[in-house]
Structure 1
Amino acid sequence: MKKLTFLALTLVFSFVTTSIFAHALWIETAASGKVGQKQSVKVFYGEYVANERDSVSKWYSDVKEFSLWVIGPDQKKTQLTLNPGTNHFEAVFTPDQNGAYTVLVSHEARELGGTTKYHFLSSADVIVGKASVAATQNSNVLKLHVDGVLLAKPNKSLQLKAFLNDAAAKGKTISVFSPNGWAKELTTDDNGVAEFTPLWKGRYVVEVSDVDKNPGQHHGKDYKATWKGATYSFEIN
């Protein structure tokens, strides 16, 4: 009986852990903006591919206590004020000059999943005027980047670049989630690059993950590994 109980608990924990991994934090904002015009930014948690946006009250651990930042063309990093909604948080910023703006989140959940620490990261770019975004503008430890995101079109190949500690992240799995529920997994090459061809218009969310097996302590608890999941959100028009 004890063995059966232990097996049942193991299966339950495995399911919970898998559910946590399936969930992600992502940002939704328009890819272009205007000087002097307010730019809305929304942050969701759930499963984009299943069109599931969890109620804020059900977000994992203390994920809802994340901070949202914007980095402007002058590289100034500013924290944005968050307003909670039913299933998202919303913030607003007003671009004061032409150039590229990057909004981002980097939050380590307080609660461990067994002996694993979870680190949620997310970013999105806003172009004001004619500008390009450099990957280095995103200060997150794990990130995805798309060159010329405003030029992305259906049926046109698109390059995704993954970075870990600002170096090309080779051999990483990138999950691509489309606006109609289609999903695909890619693997980055030696330059941290993976390609796919979007087929539909709408918002895409892409995610890259990494597992660091260095142990440590987090809020007084021992962990054996750190899981990082970084999303990048953009629109195909």
Structure 2
Amino acid sequence: MRSKHIILAATAAIVSGLFSLNASAHALWLENDAKAIKLYFGEYSENLRETSPGRLDGIVEPAATVIDAAGKENPVKPIRENGYFAIPGNTTGNAVLVQALKQPIREPQGENPGPVSKRFLYARFGKGGSLPLDIENTGDLLRLSFMGKPAAKTEIIVIAPNGWEKHLTTDEKGEVSFSLPESGLYVIEAKYEHKNPGEFEGKPYAIEIHKVTLSVYK
């Protein structure tokens, strides 16, 4: 009987670990490898980076803005490589904002299909400028906003360098405190669904799904 309890406890621990390392849906995020800033698409928690040819080609004409220390914004066009988009120009010490606004309509799938949706993907590195759905980092506080207004009671996921995830929820001000326990790159992501019917490339949709990441190095 004791061995049975040990097995059950071990199983529960494994399941708990799996939930802690559970993969998030695909997103864009930025990484700085000292030589350049690169835009990736995949699942950071799973160390999954899509390639071209492949699912990276599903990111349609992303637009980037490089913001220097004086706050000057310089629009640039990311260059698609085999496993990422290269952000051109002098990005050393500068902030980078990315928007992928031309993603195709997502048709409902499965036995219980949801409404037709349109995705809007964003990524941020550094401070300055603004995105439609944006995460600001003030050191020990994250602030989430949508169209300049606080995104209250919305989930934020902090993904550590080892893939571990911590799920947080913003307060009425769109804020939540956080800490980074170890060194490395943290990707912080949030999703915001907006019931705003529209049309893209001749196809109607009922819901906008906005997703943003903030890349933070410790």
TM-score over 0.5 for the pair: yes
1:184 pairs with one of 166, 187, 198: 166
Which sections of structure 2, spanning at least 5 residues, go unmatched? Answer: 1-23, 108-115
Cα pair distance change 1:86/1:203, threshold 3 Å: same
Q: How does 1:39-188 map to 2 (within 5 A)?
A: 40-59=36-55, 62-94=58-90, 101-114=94-107, 115-125=116-126, 133=127, 137-148=128-139, 158-188=140-170
SS at match of 1:57: coil
2:30 pairs with one of 9, 22, 27: 27
SS at match of 2:53: helix
Distance 2:122 2:56 in 1: 14
Cα distance, 1:139 vs structure 2: 2.2
SS at match of 2:94: strand
Distance 2:91 2:120 in 1: 29
Matched-pair identity in %: 28
SS at match of 1:49: helix
Equivalent in the alignment of 2:199:
217
Cα distance, 1:116 vs structure 2: 0.3
Distance 1:39 1:143 in 2: 26
Cα distance, 1:60 vs structure 2: 6.1
Cα distance, 1:111 vs structure 2: 1.4
1:230 pairs with one of 207, 212, 215: 212
Distance 2:100 2:208 in 1: 12
Structure 1 stretch displaced more, 215-224 or 84-93: 84-93
Q: Which consecutive segments of 4 or more residues in structure 1 shift more than 6 A?
A: none
Amino acid at match of 1:122: A
Q: What do you get for the CA RMSD once the two structures are aligned?
A: 2.2
Cα distance, 1:40 vs structure 2: 1.3
Amino acid at match of 2:204: D
Equivalent in the alignment of 1:153:
none
8 Å CA contact 1:174–1:208 kept in 2: the answer is: yes
Distance 1:123 1:207 in 2: 10
Cα distance, 1:92 vs structure 2: 3.8
Q: Deviations over 1:193-228 (max 9, x none)?
A: 112222221100001110011211111100000000
Q: Deviations over 1:80-113 (max 9, x none)?
A: 34333221011243369xxx73201111243111
